[in-house]
Structure 1
């Protein structure tokens, strides 16, 4: 019986996670200069950035309950927003993270811990560390020197990646 050998092109295709992690690493290593957020950035785009920064903040402090985001994190995402819109965005983002069940609420406080499913996704390994560790690196970059347009774009994509993994149950 003749068998046909599988085609081999001498390389393996990278997973979507690995492709994204390598893009993030390359951009962060290039240390692009900070740029202001586009005033026309949608609420969804801003939320995806905030989601990554919040998860990084909580992941690094697991299992200690913490606020999902600091004033500095919010400032980097609400830049160029009207004060009323920024206040509503902050409140709704906090509510969404809590109501969608990504965190457990500490009774009587706005401090949260990540739930089991979120920790599972954040613990997914990549060539540059876990998903949570890559998010922590992004968070440090947002703090200093500050995000560029390219960093913001990849951060939003990483937030989308996290949501698709969470939606699939890990």
Structure 2
């Protein structure tokens, strides 16, 4: 009976932290490519990127689009919160985020958002081996890119974070990919 009560209390606490957005550091996630910890540093303030960076927004966007168009030559489609490109569905498979993460060694992570929901992530929770999909607030820039349909980037903790819109056949933005590339 005590185990059940502890489980209920722990579950309630997890829900509270999830609903609160950015809780005090959940278990530190790691990138699968390098095994390095991804520390969000309590979500530092992002600032607009300038052109003096080592990696440019244009380069990152170009590499991503080239890879995705070659490996998945079809239109993006969204049904609810399920993202597909041709016959391939990303939800639960993580191939697209892992392919993009492999393009950028030592990336802090790659995520795909539909609206405010993170549906895919290259970041793996160290203690459970599961993908980090919940527990971190959706960056406001994701919403801005969903509305504008334009790629943008910010600087945060030594990383260039690039926000790339995915558009369907009618040019409507249906999802946004974020990738954090180190600037060192």
Name the TM-score class by shorter chain. Answer: 0.3 to 0.5
TM-score by length of 1: 0.33
TM-score by length of 2: 0.31
Higher normalized strand content (fraction of residues): 2
**Structure having greater relative contact order (Cα 8 Å, sep ≥ 6):** 1
Higher normalized helix content (fraction of residues): 1
Q: Which has the larger radius of gyration?
A: 1
